[in-house]
């Protein structure tokens, strides 16, 4: 038997486009003599459809797509994910289902049993868990088919669940497993994913065919990395990351397990590829092409500009340089050098005159009050106004350049430098920004070295540096990582050796600036705990100890 894996990029709610892509893949696999082709979780609708699932018409269009797909299964079986209605009066209205279709007929419809409701997942909001389990008998083989999380409770060890779906089908003695998934990317996810799949194969001693999405859906990025496992617990083959591919595997060869092929990319390679795809799909799936960026001469805007030019093409990126009376000369010259390295166009708009006019208009109100953060924020908001004007006039999308460290502690100005349609590096701590910049420059100097070497500064007042307001990023980022990603509270951090006063100060900055994060652009997710849908904190609260 030959099994094809279709690792494809879908658009949420694009039933016509998704169905056309699925049918094309079916015929391609049929041409390659495959007996079965497997698609990813909820591939008909795209993942995650979220509250689109509450529209009856949305579900009906998914059902219509399944009917169209059935017409193309005369010579090949199709394993595909789509929501299906729950006919029972009790329970949620829908199931998250996987269909096994052959010769125009639904042979089996297996529902997902383990519905993740944590971090970015919210499946129990929409779906009823499966209570019955079965297998498919096809061409002399017994096939267990299941959906993503249903392999993540091996031996009932996961405290979130009370059932192990694979154990439920063991009495049928399946010959192999097909698991269809929608497993979002973060830079450690491939390692976790492999550990879970390996444990399943070692427990059940049968081949496993695992298919994952690729592509970005707003802030969520799916990396692919679909895999085939031999019964000996080794990866027979791992498919590419961040790229569509259809590949056919011979079950007999997989069972022998005489070869193994596994990818082991490093953290920065994965993050670089993920952000590239995140930008590309955000623009492409919205039908947009051009981006505008406020280029300050600092590392954050430089890195964002490089990533945008790589993803969209240099001809589709425009940089706006907006120096003030506080800007250093090298901020402009470094930015111009970067623009030249990338081949992007740029404009220079000096903001001192605009700032002086606003200052004059506010003088009757402000009187003789001293210069403070108010005047700094005015500069940031002038810049936000200008780049948003360019965005509106030419239909470009403003890319936000704020990093995760700044986003965490509120070191940014609402309606100023926090403006934008998409936050590109908002899930990278400042230390990771430096790391990614050095990675990008690994073969040749793209980001001018002076941008990387100089001390970070917002340049909103004379001789200003980030360390005037923040601890060194090496210290700040470690505390933020432990608090945000690892959910270590104040006492935990103090027990790790961090200064109690510093811990209290940083955690207070994080918590009181939640209101800013609620108003900022979606952030491309590359870590285990990004700001956005996966981290839900109250704006009003007093948790500090």
CATH number at residue 202: 3.60.110.10
User: Mean pLDDT across the stretch 143-161?
Assistant: 91
Least confident segment among 51-55, 107-111, 138-142, 541-545: 541-545
Burial 347-368 (b: 16+ CB within 10 A, else e): eebebeebbeebeeeeeeeeee
Residues 277 and 252 in one domain: no
Residues 401 and 342 in one domain: yes
Residues 359 and 447 in one domain: yes
CATH code for the domain of 334: 3.40.50.620
pLDDT in tens, 112-122: 999 999 999 99
Mean pLDDT of the chain: 95
The answer as to whether 283 is a domain residue is: yes
The answer as to whether 111 is a domain residue is: yes
Whether the pLDDT of residue 480 is over 70: the answer is yes
Instruction: Report the percentage of the chain scoring pLDDT > 90.
Output: 90
Q: What is the pLDDT of residue 85?
A: 97
Whether the pLDDT of residue 449 is over 60: the answer is yes
Domain extent, residue 191, equals: 2-265
Count the domains in the chain. 2
- Taking the C-alpha atoms of residue 486 and residue 148, their distance in angstroms, rounded to an integer, is 24
Q: Among residues 416, 449, 470, which one ends one of the domains?
A: 470
The answer as to whether 297 is a domain residue is: yes
User: Mean pLDDT across the stretch 410-434?
Assistant: 96
Q: What is the pLDDT of residue 240?
A: 96
Whether the pLDDT of residue 545 is over 50: the answer is no
Query: Peptide bond preceding 48: is omega within 30 degrees of 0, i.e. cis?
Result: yes
Whether the pLDDT of residue 129 is over 50: the answer is yes
Query: pLDDT: is 471 or 230 the higher one?
Result: 230
Active site residues: 41, 112, 148
Residues 27 and 174 in one domain: yes
Q: Where are the alpha helices (DSSP H) in 231-317?
A: 251-256, 267-286, 299-312
Whether the pLDDT of residue 464 is over 80: the answer is no
- Taking the C-alpha atoms of residue 234 and residue 61, their distance in angstroms, rounded to an integer, is 40
Residues 316 and 464 in one domain: yes
Q: What is the pLDDT of residue 327?
A: 78
Q: What is the pLDDT of residue 544?
A: 65
Residue 454 Ramachandran class (φ > 0 left, ψ -120 to 50 alpha, else beta): beta
Residues 307 and 438 in one domain: yes
User: Mean pLDDT across the stretch 8-24?
Assistant: 98
Question: CA-CA distances (angstroms) from residue 492 to 488, 503, 538?
Answer: 6, 10, 21
Among 136-145, 321-330, 535-544, the range with the most confident prediction by mean pLDDT is 136-145
Residues 252 and 381 in one domain: no
The answer as to whether 511 is a domain residue is: no
Q: Nearest-CA neighbor of 115 among 131, 135, 134, 99? A: 131
The answer as to whether 26 is a domain residue is: yes
Under the banding of pLDDT at 50, 70 and 90, the label for residue 58 is very high
Residues 176 and 307 in one domain: no
Report residue 169 as tokens.
Answer: 């089908």
Residues 259 and 299 in one domain: no
Residues 258 and 277 in one domain: no
Q: Among residues 426, 455, 470, which one ends one of the domains?
A: 470
The answer as to whether 537 is a domain residue is: no
User: Mean pLDDT across the stretch 501-519?
Assistant: 94
Residues 164 and 105 in one domain: yes
* DSSP H or E stretch at residue 342: helix 329-342
The answer as to whether 423 is a domain residue is: yes
**The pTM is what?**
0.95
Residues 343 and 289 in one domain: yes
Report residue 524 as tokens.
Answer: 């491309």
Residues 6 or more apart whose CB falls under 8 angstroms from that of 136 comprise 100, 107, 108, 142, 143, 145
The answer as to whether 515 is a domain residue is: no
Q: Among residues 198, 232, 265, which one ends one of the domains?
A: 265
Under the banding of pLDDT at 50, 70 and 90, the label for residue 402 is very high
């Amino acid at each position: 038997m030959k099994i094809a894996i279709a690792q494809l990029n879908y658009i949420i709610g694009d039933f016509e486009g998704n169905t056309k892509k699925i049918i094309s893949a079916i015929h391609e696999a049929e041409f390659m003599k495959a007996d079965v082709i497997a698609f990813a979780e909820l591939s008909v609708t795209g993942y995650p459809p979220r509250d689109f699932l509450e529209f009856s018409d949305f579900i009906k269009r998914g059902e219509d797509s399944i009917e169209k797909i059935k017409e193309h299964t005369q010579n090949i079986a199709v394993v595909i994910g789509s929501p299906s209605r729950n006919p029972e009066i009790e329970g949620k209205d829908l199931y998250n289902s996987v269909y096994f279709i052959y010769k125009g007929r639904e042979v089996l419809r297996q529902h997902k049993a383990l519905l993740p409701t944590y971090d970015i997942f919210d499946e129990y909001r929409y779906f009823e868990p499966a209570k019955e389990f079965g297998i498919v008998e096809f061409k002399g083989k017994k096939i267990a088919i299941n959906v993503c999380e249903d392999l993540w409770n091996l031996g009932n060890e996961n405290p979130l669940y009370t059932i192990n779906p694979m154990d439920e089908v063991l009495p049928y003695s399946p010959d192999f497993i097909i698991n269809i998934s929608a497993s979002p990317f973060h830079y450690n996810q491939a390692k976790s994913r492999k550990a879970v799949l390996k444990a399943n194969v070692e427990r059940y001693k049968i081949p496993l065919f695992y298919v994952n999405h690729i592509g970005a859906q707003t802030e969520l990025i799916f990396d692919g990395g679909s895999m085939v496992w031999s019964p000996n617990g080794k990866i027979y083959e791992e498919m590419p990351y961040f790229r569509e591919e259809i590949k056919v595997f011979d079950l007999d060869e997989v069972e022998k397990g005489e070869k193994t092929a596994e990818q082991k990319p490093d953290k920065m390679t994965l993050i670089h590829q993920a952000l590239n795809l995140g930008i590309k799909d955000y623009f492409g799936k919205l039908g947009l092409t051009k981006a505008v960026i406020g280029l300050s001469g600092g590392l954050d805007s430089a890195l964002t500009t490089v990533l945008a030019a790589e993803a969209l093409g240099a001809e589709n990126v425009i940089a706006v340089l907006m120096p003030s009376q506080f800007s250093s000369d090298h901020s402009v010259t470094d930015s111009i050098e970067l623009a030249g390295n990338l081949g992007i166009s740029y404009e220079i708009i000096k903001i001192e005159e605009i700032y002086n006019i606003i200052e004059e208009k506010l003088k009757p109100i402000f009187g003789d009050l001293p210069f403070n953060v108010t005047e700094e924020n005015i500069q940031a908001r002038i810049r936000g106004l200008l780049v948003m004007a360019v965005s509106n006039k030419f239909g470009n999308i403003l890319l936000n350049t704020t990093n995760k460290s700044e986003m965490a502690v509120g070191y940014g100005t609402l309606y100023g430098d926090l403006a934008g349609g998409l936050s590109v590096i908002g899930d990278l701590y400042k230390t990771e920004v430096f790391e990614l910049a050095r990675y990008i420059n690994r073969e040749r100097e793209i980001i001018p070295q002076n941008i990387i070497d100089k001390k970070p500064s917002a340049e909103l007042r004379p001789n200003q540096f980030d360390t005037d307001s923040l601890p060194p990023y090496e210290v700040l980022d470690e505390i933020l990582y432990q608090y945000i990603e690892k959910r270590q509270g104040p006492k935990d951090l103090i027990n790790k050796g961090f200064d109690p006063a510093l811990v209290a100060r940083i955690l207070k900055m994080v918590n009181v600036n939640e209101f800013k994060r609620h108003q900022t652009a979606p952030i491309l997710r590359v870590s285990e705990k990004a700001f956005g849908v996966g981290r839900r904190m109250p704006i009003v609260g007093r948790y500090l100890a």
